[in-house]
Amino acid sequence: MSDPGLACCTPLSGTAMSADQAEQVAPLLKALADPVRLRLVSLIASSATGEACVCDLGGAFDLTQATISHHLKVLHSAGLLDRDKRGVWVYYAVRPEALTAVASLFSTSALAPA
Amino acid sequence: MSDPGLACCTPLSGTAMSADQAEQVAPLLKALADPVRLRLVSLIASSATGEACVCDLGGAFDLTQATISHHLKVLHSAGLLDRDKRGVWVYYAVRPEALTAVASLFSTSALAPA
DNA sequence: GAAGGACATCGACGGACGTCGATGTCTGGA
DNA sequence: TCCAGACATCGACGTCCGTCGATGTCCTTC
C-alpha cells in the first residue's frame, strides 16, 4: 500500500518465481494438499495398470462415496487425474505431465536453495 | 462404512503411500499451496545469502505487513522456514530438509507412475 | 528513559473447504 | 421394461483460511 521503500539488506536476486507462475502452480499443490487426495493419487499411481476404478478406491477410506467422488473431482479438475468411464465403472489415471510440473518445482532453482 | 466387498478390477498393488505418511506430508503441501507463500519461499531460496528479512519480503507484495507476517508464520510452523532475529530485523531461511521431504514425494515410486 | 521503527499478535470478517445424507443419472442384466 | 448397482450432483453444515486494521512487544537510538 505505502511506497516500496528501500531494501534494508540484500536486494533479493531476481531469479525467483514470478507471481503468474505461482498462481499457476498453487492450485496443483492445493489439490494435493489433503491426506485423502494424496493417498488417492498414490493408490492410482501405484496400481499395476496405472489406473483404478472408484469402487476400489473407496474401500481404502472410512469416507462416504460422495466424499470420495468429490475428492476425485477436485483432482480431475486440477488436471491431475484423467477420467475414463467404461460401462458401469469409472477409471481414474494420473496425468504424468501434471505431476512432472509439480516435481520440477523442487528440482529447479526456483525453490532449491543449494 | 459398509463391508469392504470384493475388488471389481485390480486389487491395488500395496506399494502406495500409507495413511500416516499422507497425514505427515499433507501439511507441508498445504503450507506451500498458496501463491503468496510459494513466492515467499522462492524469494528466500533464490536470495544470494539464502535468507531474507521481512522488510524486503513485504515489498514484493501488495499485502499488509500483518498478512505477510501471518504467511511467514504458517511456513515456519510447517517447518519449511527457519527464523533468526538479529537486532531489529528478522531473517527467514528455507529448511532444505523440509523441501527435500516434499521433493522426494514426486521422485519416489509413491507418486511417480512411470 | 522516551521515542520510533520492525515485526508479531489479536479479533473480526467473508469466502472456501471437507464431509455428509439425499437424490439424480446412467448402465447392464433379469 | 424394470430393477439394482456405480457414480455424480445437490444442499447443508461446521470448520478452516486469507486478509485486514488495531494493538502489543522488543530493540535501537537519542
- Hey, of A29, A41, A62, A91, which one would you mutate to test binding to chain B, going by the most B CBs within 10 A of its CB? A29
pTM of the full structure: 0.87
pLDDT in tens, A35-53: 999 999 999 999 989 999 9
Interface of B with A in 45-84 (CB under 8 A): 45-50, 52-53, 55-57, 59-60, 62, 64
* pLDDT at residue B93, as a whole number: 97
For the residues B96-110, what does the mean pLDDT come to? Answer: 83
Q: Which residue has the cell 460422495?
A: A66
- C-alpha to C-alpha distance for B104 and B110, rounded to whole angstroms: 9
Interface of A with B in 8-37 (CB under 8 A): 8-13, 15-17, 19, 22-23, 25-26, 29-30, 32-36
For the residues B53-58, what does the mean pLDDT come to? Answer: 95
* Phi and psi torsions of A90, nearest 5°: -120, 130
- C-alpha to C-alpha distance for A102 and B77, rounded to whole angstroms: 22
Q: Give the orientation angle of helix A65-77 with respect to helix A35-45, to 10 degrees.
A: 80
**What DSSP letter does each residue of B5-21 carry, written as one string?**
---SS----TTSPPHHH
| CB–CB contact A46 B15 (8 Å) | yes
For chain B, give the mean pLDDT.
Answer: 86
Bases of chain C below 7 A from a protein C-beta are 4-11, 17-22, 26-28
For chains A and B, count residue pairs whose Cβ atoms are closer than 8 Å.
Answer: 177
The number of residues in chain A equals 114
CA-based nearest residue in chain B for residue A64: B1
Report which of A67, A78, A73 is spatially closest to residue A31, judged by C-alpha positions: A78
Residue B51 near residue B44 (C-beta atoms within 8 A): yes
For chain A, give the mean pLDDT.
Answer: 86
- C-alpha to C-alpha distance for A20 and A22, rounded to whole angstroms: 5
Confidence of residue B5 (pLDDT cuts 50, 70, 90): very low
Is there contact between B110 and strand D, defined as CB under 7 Å from any strand atom? Answer: no
- C-alpha to C-alpha distance for B49 and B66, rounded to whole angstroms: 25
| CB–CB contact B19 A39 (8 Å) | yes
- Hey, of B74, B106, B107, which one would you mutate to test binding to chain A, going by the most A CBs within 10 A of its CB? B106
CA-based nearest residue in chain B for residue A43: B16
pLDDT in tens, B23-38: 999 999 999 999 999 9
- Which of B16-25, B30-39, B97-106 is modeled with the greatest confidence? B30-39
Confidence of residue B16 (pLDDT cuts 50, 70, 90): confident
Confidence of residue B15 (pLDDT cuts 50, 70, 90): confident
For the residues A44-67, what does the mean pLDDT come to? Answer: 94
Over 90: is that where the pLDDT of A8 sits?
Answer: no
* pLDDT at residue A9, as a whole number: 55
Q: Which residue has the cell 531460496?
A: B45
Name every residue whose Cβ is closer than 8 Å to that of residue B78 and which is 6 or more positions away in sequence: B27, B28, B30, B31, B98
